[in-house]
Amino acid sequence: MITRLPRDYVIYSFSKLHQAKYTAVPGDIVVFETVDALGGQIVDEATTLDSIDWNRVNPATGPLYVEGAKPGDTLIVEIEDIRISDRAVIVVAPGFGALPDRKIKPMVKMLKVEGRRVLFNDVEIEARPMVGVIGVAPEDGELPTGTSGHHGGNMDVALLTAGSRVYLPVFTEGALLAIGDIHVVQADGEICVAAAEASGEVIVKLELVKGKRPRYPVIETGDRYSIIAFGRDLDEAAYRASEEAVLILMRALSVSFEEAYMLSSLVVDLRINQVVDPMKGVRAEIPKNYVKLEHILTQLS
């Protein structure tokens, strides 16, 4: 079955208090129509950042209720395709990004999308459509769609492209999945606070793993699993990613913490996701020839 969620059905926070109008079952294909991260409010380069309603920024389409999803399960979201509009927007603003102390002027720039390329002035960049926001309701409270956590959220991981599989821990009945913030292209770090922001559609296939879940969101791509950690700064995010990678290697290879710690220096890659959101993002990439999915997913104690 194919379910389509319209782009006017959005949330600005992840919470189990949100009521879902749409339902899917494992095995379904779901189309999420999305609005760009600036809420579709920038129509041309004459639009000023002062004119934007910041309460409408970072909309995520959803939530979607997934039948059978219970706390302690894993929701698998396989990204089958990302369809993008023929234009994107990128902005800079004083006090934001990786260089918040620099005195800069606010700027809006429209980018033309032609097939598999993005035009920035005379610079051609290969388009690599990705999803910035994908998450489920957290166990407690309400988390803005502009930040990340154990529930996923605004992870801004360049790996979230067509063909990747996302493993999200389920904290509430139905999971309450929401997706948004398509980028036509984004480099690791997202240095200026924005990427090539665009509206479009994200087509996903849903599956469930019952009774087990990861401690952090996990992305499967090609030959590796990536543990998506977060922190108030990069040190904290790197600590969490490193610790989880070591614990996974311990389970996978039946070795001591010390041996897994040493091995992580040889086979685990730490990479930055983004440095500009309220929670910074670091991922630990572990090749599949050292671990299996069963070593990443754990039962609730």
pLDDT of residue 1: 78
Calculate the CA dihedral of residues 157, 158, 159, 161 and round it to 10 degrees.
Answer: 110
Residues 180/40, Cβ–Cβ less than 8 Å: no
pLDDT > 70? residue 301: no
Residue that the structure tokens 């492209």 belong to: 161
- Quick one: pLDDT at residue 299? 74
- The three-class DSSP label of residue 17 is coil
The domains located in the chain, with CATH, are 2-209 (2.60.120.580), 218-296 (3.10.28.20)
Question: Cβ neighbours of residue 122 under 8 Å, at least 6 residues apart?
Answer: none
Report residue 208 CA to chain centroid gap: 19
Average confidence (pLDDT) over 34-59: 94
Mean pLDDT of 213-220: 98
- Tokens representing residue 96 in the block: 């934001």
pLDDT in tens, 137-168: 999 999 999 999 999 999 999 999 999 999 99
Cβ burial, residue 225 (10 Å; 0-12/13-18/19+): buried
Residue 46: how many CB atoms within 10 A of its CB? 8
Average pLDDT of the segment spanning 111-134: 96
pLDDT, tens digit (0-9, with 9 covering 90-100), for 247-256: 999 999 999 9
Given this model, what pLDDT does residue 300 score?
63
Cα 131 to chain centroid distance, Å, stands at 6
Q: What's the average model confidence in pLDDT over 194-212?
A: 98
Rg (CA), the chain: 19
pLDDT at residue 12, rounded to an integer: 98
- Mean per-residue pLDDT of the chain: 96
Tens of pLDDT, residue by residue over 233-270, are 999 999 999 999 999 999 999 999 999 999 999 999 99
pLDDT tens, 75-98?
999 999 999 999 999 999 999 999
Report the run of H or E that residue 245 belongs to, with start and end: helix 234-253
Cα(first)–Cα(last) distance of the chain, in Å? 35
Q: pLDDT value at position 280?
A: 98
Query: Looking at residue 58, what is its pLDDT?
Result: 96
